[in-house]
Amino acid sequence: MSAVDPAVPRVEPYQPGFWRQNQRRLAPWLFLAPGMLMFLVYVIIPIFQSIWISFYDWDGLGEAIWIGIGNYVELLDDEAFYTSIYNNILWLLLYLLAIPAGLAIAIFLNQTVFGIRLVKSLFFFPFVISQVVVGLMFSWFYAPEFGLFYQLSEVLTGKGIAILADENLATFGIIAAGLWPQIAYCMILYLTGLNNINPEQIEAARMDGAKGWSMLWRIVVPQLRPATFIALVVTVIGALRSFDLVSIMTDGGPYGATRVLSFYMYEQALSEYGYRMGYGAAIATVLFIIMMVFISFFVVRLVTRERSG
Amino acid sequence: MFPTPIAKVSAPVRIAYKVLLPVALIIWLLPLLGVAMTSMRPGSDLTAGNYFGIPSRFAGIENYTAVFRDSPIGWYILNSFKITIPTVVGAILLSCLTGFALAIYRFRANIIVFFLFVAGNFVPFQILMIPVRDLSLRAGVYDTALGLILFHVAFQTGFCTLFMRNFISSLPFALVESARVEGVSEWKIFRHVVIPLMRPAIAALAVLVFTFVWNDYFWATVLAQGQNTMPVTAGLYSLNGQWIAAWQLVSAGSIVAALPPVLMFFLMQRHFIAGLTLGATKG
């Protein structure tokens, strides 16, 4: 870009009037104003408000009482909070499987046979569907007694597994449901990446005798780095944001075993047992801080990449 | 090309691939196919324990009619459209402006503003929940389509700005410069030089935002309560509670709720994927 530096005004004798002279300096702010205003009101300011609320005891209606770090102290003794964090870590780690799985499917589909375009779109399908629908589909797939998964496990182990009713397994069942659309997303990123790989390098490597794993690992994967980066960003953020599937499939149960921070926050802030806004805000703040670690890493990389060209 | 094109490998491998491909597809879409099939099954099949076999007769019309007749799903769908379409228009309008500002002008705060839009995009929804709900209540837009539209427009503007800015940056800057030399005002440059070139970006964002907002569930539960506002995602979940064990109805409802974004995807596939894979190739 070679925009004129507004710090050095050009001498333009034929442009009288304030607007004419300053047009280029003011224009960006006028263009930004409506979008920025909305974004400030609905996104940026609420972040600080939430952090502020987390220092209060507040039911959402009555008077808010300042209790300092009281909510955070309470969190330290809250069993459900630890369950939620533990499950968030599980989500994060297992969700990362979407990246290699997506790459594998992309490689499998990166061919030119009849109808492959349709096949690729159909593989991408799960991502387009609402997570509510995905959650219902998997609940039905896992349903005790008649569900396909239950019957399959009955055949394999002699005893049917009602995965969503099992405290120790339910979270895995939900994560598997979440992986379905997430793999589809990573797959499409890698398909685009594979499409843009430099064919000469592949051919040259092939002449040098590279094939199979060494070709994949040394030649292809390095060229897919931009796709891998985006896949990593969307997968990490997706894992930590998980809410819909937990709410749809188990509603946090059985016995709160499938709670994650986002869900637990919602439960505390707006549950039928009374509104605990301050406590909810404290949980949200913890989740926000965890995510901020990743977000700042991602954004710094994104911005430096922008700057370098 | 990687992997080796299938046309260049031995015949047995090639045949194996062509057999494996549809098999893999069916396994991959098994949950979806199962639900689609259940939506065409008579209720009596389910009570008789025929969950996965061949339906005893085709009951698709009866199930889908029942869903629309006996439940407010039609309303929910309408609500979804009432929320989604204005959001798409609003977010695109705002982000054309912000994207233009960030791509064309160099000013000191440029990178900071850009940074805010991008970072804001990744925050957990829960950190926004209480203040946004509170704001909507106080502004009198809680449990209205407008309340959801305003939030979605604001939030989607973050992602859309990133997209638009990158798109406008990739346009030849000489166009803007030569217009400036001729004394064209900044607004007219935006309106008559840049906007006409942005069609593909607008199309890509339109399908993406449509899908994101249509599929939103969290904000629907936070900002909507009644049948008059609730979009189909939240509506379907509440219906699921009423239709206990009536899986043929749950399935039909799910298919209905999933259909609009699916159609959108098929109609505008190229744009959809171009939008989603932004940044996956360069760098």
- Residue-wise pLDDT tens digits, B83-111: 999 999 999 999 999 999 999 998 888 98
Q: What Rg do the C-alpha atoms of chain B give, in angstroms?
A: 24
B172 touches chain A (CB under 8 A): no
CATH superfamily assigned to domain A76-308: MetI-like (1.10.3720.10)
Question: Residues 195 to 214 of B: which have CB under 8 A from any A CB?
Answer: 211, 214
Average pLDDT, chain B: 89
Does A5 have pLDDT greater than 70?
no
CA A283, CA A268: separation in Å to the nearest integer? 9
Chain A residues in contact with B237 (beta carbon < 8 A): 132, 247-248
Cβ atoms of A167 and A255 within 8 Å: the answer is: yes
- Can you give the pLDDT at residue A147? 80
- Can you give the pLDDT at residue B157? 95
CA B73, CA A84: separation in Å to the nearest integer? 33
Write the pLDDT tens digit of every residue in A171-180. 999 999 999 9
Chain A residues in contact with B187 (beta carbon < 8 A): 27
Cβ atoms of A304 and A229 within 8 Å: the answer is: no
- Can you give the pLDDT at residue B281? 66
Indicate the length of chain A as a whole number. Answer: 309
Q: Tell me whether residues A188 and B218 touch, CB distance under 8 A.
A: no
CA A70, CA B88: separation in Å to the nearest integer? 42
Distance from CA of A55 to the nearest CA of B (A): 14
Q: What's the token pair of residue A37?
A: 């205003």
Cβ atoms of B94 and B224 within 8 Å: the answer is: no
Q: What's the token pair of residue B173?
A: 């800057």
The predicted model gives B151-164 an average pLDDT of 94
CA A5, CA B108: separation in Å to the nearest integer? 10
- β-strand pairing of A56-57 with A65-66: antiparallel
- Can you give the pLDDT at residue A40? 95
Q: Give the least confident one: A27-41, A262-276, B151-165, B212-226.
A: A262-276
Cβ atoms of B185 and A30 within 8 Å: the answer is: no
Closest to B134 in 3D by CA, of A242, A280, A228, A98: A280
B11 touches chain A (CB under 8 A): no
- Angle at the Cα of B7 (from B4 to B12), degrees rounded to 5? 95
Chain B residues in contact with A34 (beta carbon < 8 A): 94, 97
Write the pLDDT tens digit of every residue in A183-230. 999 999 999 999 888 888 888 888 888 777 888 888 889 889 989 999
Chain A residues in contact with B49 (beta carbon < 8 A): 146
Of A23, A233, A261, the CB nearest to B185: A23
- Can you give the pLDDT at residue A150? 85
The predicted model gives B31-36 an average pLDDT of 88
Domain ranges of chain A: 1-53, 76-308
Residue B179 counted as domain residue: yes
Give residue B193's domain range. Answer: 81-226
CA A86, CA A196: separation in Å to the nearest integer? 39
Q: Tell me whether residues A34 and B101 touch, CB distance under 8 A.
A: no
3-state SS, residue A251: coil
Distance from CA of A163 to the nearest CA of B (A): 16
- Strand ranges for chain A from DSSP E: 56-57, 65-66
Cβ count near A178 (within 10 Å): 25
Average pLDDT, chain A: 88
Cβ atoms of A162 and A150 within 8 Å: the answer is: yes
Residue B68 counted as domain residue: no
Does B2 have pLDDT greater than 60?
yes
Cβ atoms of A165 and A254 within 8 Å: the answer is: yes
Distances (CA, A) of A252 to A102, A134, A261: 28, 17, 10
Of A133, A296, A302, the CB nearest to B258: A133
Number of domains into which chain B is organized: 1
Closest to A54 in 3D by CA, of A68, A44, A75, A42: A68
Q: What ipTM does the predicted assembly reach? A: 0.90
Distance from CA of A168 to the nearest CA of B (A): 23
Closest to A139 in 3D by CA, of B249, B256, B240, B60: B240
**CATH code (residue B97):** 1.10.3720.10
Chain A residues in contact with B129 (beta carbon < 8 A): 50, 265-266, 269, 280, 284
3-state SS, residue A215: helix
CA A268, CA A262: separation in Å to the nearest integer? 10
Q: Give the least confident one: A114-118, B92-96, B138-142.
A: A114-118
Q: Give the least confident one: A70-74, A114-118, A269-273.
A: A269-273
Of A50, A111, A244, the CB nearest to B131: A50
Grade residue B283 by pLDDT with cuts at 50, 70 and 90.
very low
What letter would DSSP give residue A57? E
Q: Is B153 left (phi over 0), alpha (psi -120 to 50) or beta?
A: alpha
Q: Tell me whether residues A180 and B31 touch, CB distance under 8 A.
A: yes
If 0-12 CB within 10 Å is exposed, 13-18 middle and 19+ buried, where does residue B181 land?
exposed
Cβ atoms of B82 and B74 within 8 Å: the answer is: no
CA A309, CA B23: separation in Å to the nearest integer? 44
More confident residue, A2 or A49: A49
CA A81, CA B127: separation in Å to the nearest integer? 16
Of B5, B177, B279, the CB nearest to A111: B5
Cα first-last separation, chain B: 20
Distances (CA, A) of B235 to B38, B79, B220: 20, 10, 9
Closest to B130 in 3D by CA, of B216, B222, B231, B221: B222
Cα first-last separation, chain A: 10
Does A93 have pLDDT greater than 90?
yes
Cβ count near A292 (within 10 Å): 17
Chain A residues in contact with B114 (beta carbon < 8 A): 303, 306
Residue B173 counted as domain residue: yes
Grade residue A2 by pLDDT with cuts at 50, 70 and 90.
very low
Indicate the length of chain B as a whole number. Answer: 283
**Minimum CA–CA partner of A183 in chain B:** B28
CA B99, CA B61: separation in Å to the nearest integer? 47
CA A118, CA A20: separation in Å to the nearest integer? 54
Write the pLDDT tens digit of every residue in B187-200. 999 999 999 999 88
Write the pLDDT tens digit of every residue in A123-168. 998 999 999 999 999 988 888 877 888 888 888 888 888 889 888 9
Grade residue A9 by pLDDT with cuts at 50, 70 and 90.
low
Helix orientation angle between A45-53 and A277-308, rounded to the nearest 10 degrees:
140
Distance from CA of B162 to the nearest CA of A (A): 11
